[in-house]
Amino acid sequence: MVGPYFEGGTALDLFAGSGGLGIEALSRGMDKAVFVDLESKSIEVIRMNLKATKLEDQAAVYRNDAGRALKALAKRGTTFDLVFLDPPYRMKNGHELMLTMHELELLEPEATIVLEYESKHDYPEQFGPFEQTRKALYGETAVSIYYYAPEAVEDGESITPEEEAPHD
């Protein structure tokens, strides 16, 4: 749904699990990726997968709660062009995390946010500086892609990119 290739930039894989999404982004051209997960076993798996793919020099791996990690990344002045949000399905706060990233100035203008969630739950097509450009359903899983345009919201313009992907 995203790609197929990137021309550099930094990715965030929040609730990273095995790190598969961030590793795929690195293999498709992202310069760097930050992986965050709270589970120590996940952190071990991410490190093993980065080593196996020889991408560990392009990665930073943190064991932390998502909210704390976002605050720490903001203090470091880190910004992201691509964000993967794959919280546990019991959590229904993907849009709140996105708004927190906006408030903490963690996102580059025109960043892409990929949100995976339980298909029974629904997120708004547009909120704050985010607009859903694509949504796909895969059984019990839904994936929405959001476009980030903070300036357009301030100017009162449409925030949909001209090269918008078709809706599913």
Domain architecture of the chain: domains with CATH: 10-143 (3.40.50.150)
Query: What token pair was written down for 122?
Result: 């629904």
Digit-coded pLDDT (tens) for 93-112:
899 999 999 999 999 999 99
CB-based contacts of 132: which residues, under 8 Å, 6+ apart? 123, 124, 125, 126, 144, 145, 146, 147
Digit-coded pLDDT (tens) for 19-34:
999 999 999 999 999 9
pTM recorded for the entire structure: 0.87
